Structure 1
Amino acid sequence: MGGQRSKAGAPMLLLAISYGIINVSASSYAGNRQVSALELEEIKQYLEKINKPALNSIQSPDGDIIDCVPVDKQPALDNPLLRNHTIQMMPSMLPTYRGGNYTTKNIQQLWNDVGSCPNGTIPIRRTKIEDVLRAGSLSQFGKKKLGYRSSTLASPPQGHEFWLLFCVYFIAYIKYAIAYLESTQNPIYGSMATFNVWNPYVEVDEEFSLSQLWVCAGSYENSDLNTIEAGWQVCPLIYGDSNTRLFIYWTANAYNGTGCYNLECEGFVQTDNSVAIGGALSPVSTYGGSQYAMTLSVFKDPSSGNWWLTFEDTFVGYWPSEIFTLLSNSATWLEWGGEIVNTSPNGEHTSTDMGSGYFAEEGYEKASYIRNIMIVDSSNNLSPPASIITSATNTNCYDLKSYNDTDWGVSFFFGGPGKSSLCT
């Protein structure tokens, strides 16, 4: 567990071009999928659009290619809603906060060890043809395809009670252990928290495991859900490996056509030249050993209305207010926690880890945590929430235990190993 298990039988992607057909063969897929020459040409055209010309490129030790793209040539600016957009290089004002302990061990990205992007450029993880092919179709690449299952829980966590239609192959289910805060009276303008970083075991390539924060408005039921999401994840289907990676996501209509992971569509405007969205994180925490964490924040700039992302002390970039509907004003609820995807057939549970792969009661150096949870209010002040509500789909599989103390403020441990004698 906790990244210490090895993955056997990981699928290989084999491409053979013959008579205008590409046969895509993978052990996790049902049979072979054939890609026509027309579809291949569409993918190539997409890659030409999304992979902008770079001033220079960096070969990362994990296999990624990081392109240093001029900041004014990045994909977000192709969005028709941003046709007259002026890039905001820094937030006009920061949320005000005093006190707290935010000491964490330094966590970086692997590509930082071998190169850097010059000023005036941003690092973009190059999208490859195999990345698109793993998604099953160009229309599904970089996106979540979700359907809703009813729940007896309060409205915010219902956003997690999803089934997922991955590509066109199978249905999967989200499992979670989260804390959340809903405010129907006072608008919310962001959140900050520190996330313990692990490399959880993922059973099959179509599953993932993550730890993140959500800034939300609207609801899935009304198809007006707006979300901003940021955290770390292990997702072989997206990245082609089992590395732990920094990720972001957004949607303006309940994942129904708008939004995407990272910079795979016209949305997030990056301004920083040192952080690659989607890049691998290193080092990660070990069970009973060194612990590594990252502090993330998402906050609304009071002047521009843009939603800024920070990674540690770095202002990475922002989601422009123009791409949202409800979040163009404020958020109404926040969530923090872990998710996994279960694709096991016949109702069985996956053995994919959440967090470290150990339950919350294991505590520090063993379980995953999110600590020093803060919210941004209408006065642009950062403060701990008065209370949070916790929820988990099945505590025999993954659980959560919350705390509130002087050093870590509002915090919780969470996670679990999945399939066991109690989690079937």
Structure 2
Amino acid sequence: MGFCYGKLQMPCNSAASISLKKKLQVQSLLKRLNKTPQKSIKSPDGDIIDCIPISHQPAFDHPLLQNHKIQLAPSYYPEGRFDDKKVNSLKSSEGLKPIKQLWHLNGNCAEGTIPVRRTKKDDVLRAGAIKNFGKKKKNNILRPNSTQHQDCLCRTKKHQVILMRISGRTCITLWGRVSSQHAIAFVEGDKYFGARAYINVWQPKVEKPAEFSVSQISVTAGDVNSIQAGWMVSHKLYGDNNTRLFNFWTRDAFKSTGCYNLLCSGFVQISHRIALGACIAPISSYNGAQYDIGILLWRDPNGGNWWMKYGNDNEVVGYWPASLFTNLADGADMIQWGGQVVDIVSDGQHTTTQMGSGHFPAEGFSKAAYFKNIQVVTNGSNQLMDPHDVDALTDQNGCYDIEFGKSTHGGFFFYYGGPGRNPNCP
């Protein structure tokens, strides 16, 4: 960030220093994103949630969705052996609590509307260039077996024992001064039509405003189409360090399409209960109560739309229409579960931005973050089932690591995360 000098010294992207042209561009974007609400709710965390008529949502600004007819429910739900009403935990169901969004404390949106987090001027200005608002960096789809990683892949195979340590060479993926660090489990080599997991929710420390920490499920086809969902902490996107629900999509490896949540047209929301980008509460505490969220992404065979379900109450949030995609409309070729940290490497040093709980997986339940009851829908099956031939990847396991496990109930899980900079991660 540069500085403007005069009588006052202030950041160049401050409201006082932006040009008239940019002000008009910001106003135009806010008008497009912030539709006229039927009702507005002030959340305890400071967000404003607008209840927007479902037919007026940003999705229908997309040229491919001009004449789109809203599908109010999927025609198909994949089924598995884990009942959403009674979820198996790693040790027992005791201590795992229901989880909600903070804005529900002050009101609800009526049926026929959707809750949309209001975008503010400062949200847009933090992105720098307006065209970057709500988007990711280009070419940021992780392909573990690509040339990018083949010389520095830390992997383990399958999950036949209770805990398997990742070992191997230290490796790091760099985009300029920005380091993207991963601790993920993944499957590939089949055709996938769905993925599911229960994701332990924490509030990792993020040291610098431009950094973020994410825990997510990612569904990818080719090297261009991807949908993602989970929780994240991102000051740059939201203006605080709260843990928030998110989803994301792209059809061209983040080059020009896709965005988080409803910050561009594309994702069609049908839920009047769940606000994308809103805070999740409560969150897990170290050696205390644990909270997790259920995420299910799946392709409806009737039409090819990809749907998102959230929470333990089977709440269908909405869908990405098949027309948004090229490869993904016919199914995915890779599923990933796990954490990602984007941190700024300066003078060769990592920041202390945390992944998951900020503790290494070896510390175990109630201390390390986890993904549990991981399942997939594969080619020729309408059932959620345990994944086969699961691999794992860490870019630098002295910073963030991953350990597989299998519970007594048969559910596949893993612990993951870490503190960032430490004696083994300089």
Q: Deviation digits for residues 162-203 of structure 1, max 9, x if unmatched?
A: 6457xxxxx4111010000002xx311010100000000110
Asked whether the 8 Å contact 2:306–2:321 carries over to 1, the reply is yes
Asked whether the 8 Å contact 2:139–2:254 carries over to 1, the reply is no
Q: 2:68 — aligned with what?
A: 85
Q: Which residues in structure 2 correspond to 1:61-76 (within 5 Å)?
A: 61-76=44-59
1:98 Cα deviation after fit: 2.7
1:422–1:163 Cα change, 3 Å: closer
- Equivalent residue for 1:110, pick from 102, 109, 122: 102
1:200–1:65 Cα change, 3 Å: same
Q: 1:233 — aligned with what?
A: 232
Say which SS state the counterpart of residue 259 (structure 1) adopts.
Answer: coil
Q: Which residues in structure 2 correspond to 1:27-38 (within 5 Å)?
A: 34-38=17-21
- Equivalent residue for 1:177, pick from 183, 186, 193: 183
Q: 1:46 — aligned with what?
A: 29
Counterparts of 1:399 and 1:260, CA distance in 2? 28
Q: 1:120 — aligned with what?
A: 112
Counterparts of 1:64 and 1:411, CA distance in 2? 33
Consecutive unaligned residues in structure 1, runs of 5 or more: 1-10, 166-170, 220-224
1:99 Cα deviation after fit: 4.3
More moved, 144-153 vs 126-135: 144-153
- 2:307 counterpart letter in structure 1: W
Q: 1:336 — aligned with what?
A: 337
Q: 2:159 — aligned with what?
A: none
Say which SS state the counterpart of residue 347 (structure 2) adopts.
Answer: helix
More moved, 398-407 vs 40-49: 398-407
Asked whether the 8 Å contact 1:24–1:32 carries over to 2, the reply is no
Say which SS state the counterpart of residue 336 (structure 1) adopts.
Answer: strand
1:386 Cα deviation after fit: 1.9
Q: Which residues in structure 2 correspond to 1:167-316 (within 5 Å)?
A: 171-183=177-189, 186-219=190-223, 225-312=224-311, 313-316=314-317
- 1:357 counterpart letter in structure 2: G
Counterparts of 1:265 and 1:397, CA distance in 2? 34
1:209 Cα deviation after fit: 0.7
- Equivalent residue for 2:149, pick from 147, 151, 155: 151
- 1:247 counterpart letter in structure 2: F
Say which SS state the counterpart of residue 345 (structure 1) adopts.
Answer: coil
Say which SS state the counterpart of residue 132 (structure 2) adopts.
Answer: coil
Asked whether the 8 Å contact 2:152–2:395 carries over to 1, the reply is no
Say which SS state the counterpart of residue 411 (structure 1) adopts.
Answer: strand
1:102–1:129 Cα change, 3 Å: same
Say which SS state the counterpart of residue 112 (structure 1) adopts.
Answer: helix
Consecutive unaligned residues in structure 2, runs of 5 or more: 89-95, 141-146, 156-170
Counterparts of 1:68 and 1:153, CA distance in 2? 50
Asked whether the 8 Å contact 2:139–2:253 carries over to 1, the reply is no
- Equivalent residue for 2:386, pick from 384, 387, 396: 384
1:255–1:423 Cα change, 3 Å: same
TM-score (norm 2): 0.87
Q: Deviation digits for residues 91-135 of structure 1, max 9, x if unmatched?
A: 111112234662542110000111100110000001111000000
Counterparts of 2:331 and 2:9, CA distance in 1? 47
Counterparts of 2:82 and 2:260, CA distance in 1? 33
1:164–1:34 Cα change, 3 Å: farther
Counterparts of 1:62 and 1:204, CA distance in 2? 21
- Alignment length (residue pairs): 391
Counterparts of 2:247 and 2:22, CA distance in 1? 27
Q: 2:123 — aligned with what?
A: 131
- 2:366 counterpart letter in structure 1: E
Counterparts of 2:119 and 2:4, CA distance in 1? 17
Counterparts of 1:24 and 1:403, CA distance in 2? 51
1:406 Cα deviation after fit: 3.4
2:372 aligned with 1:375, yes or no? no
1:283–1:181 Cα change, 3 Å: same
Asked whether the 8 Å contact 2:203–2:357 carries over to 1, the reply is yes
Q: Deviation digits for residues 266-286 of structure 1, max 9, x if unmatched?
A: 110000000000000000000
1:74–1:23 Cα change, 3 Å: farther
Q: Deviation digits for residues 321-361 of structure 1, max 9, x if unmatched?
A: 00011011100000000011111312211101110000000
Say which SS state the counterpart of residue 317 (structure 1) adopts.
Answer: strand
Counterparts of 1:261 and 1:255, CA distance in 2? 11
Say which SS state the counterpart of residue 233 (structure 1) adopts.
Answer: strand
* RMSD of aligned residue pairs (Cα, Å): 2.7
Asked whether the 8 Å contact 2:197–2:295 carries over to 1, the reply is yes
- 2:183 counterpart letter in structure 1: A
1:54–1:231 Cα change, 3 Å: same
- 2:402 counterpart letter in structure 1: L
Q: 1:322 — aligned with what?
A: 323
- 2:48 counterpart letter in structure 1: I
1:285–1:329 Cα change, 3 Å: same
1:15 Cα deviation after fit: 12
Say which SS state the counterpart of residue 43 (structure 1) adopts.
Answer: helix
1:33–1:339 Cα change, 3 Å: farther
Q: 1:399 — aligned with what?
A: 401
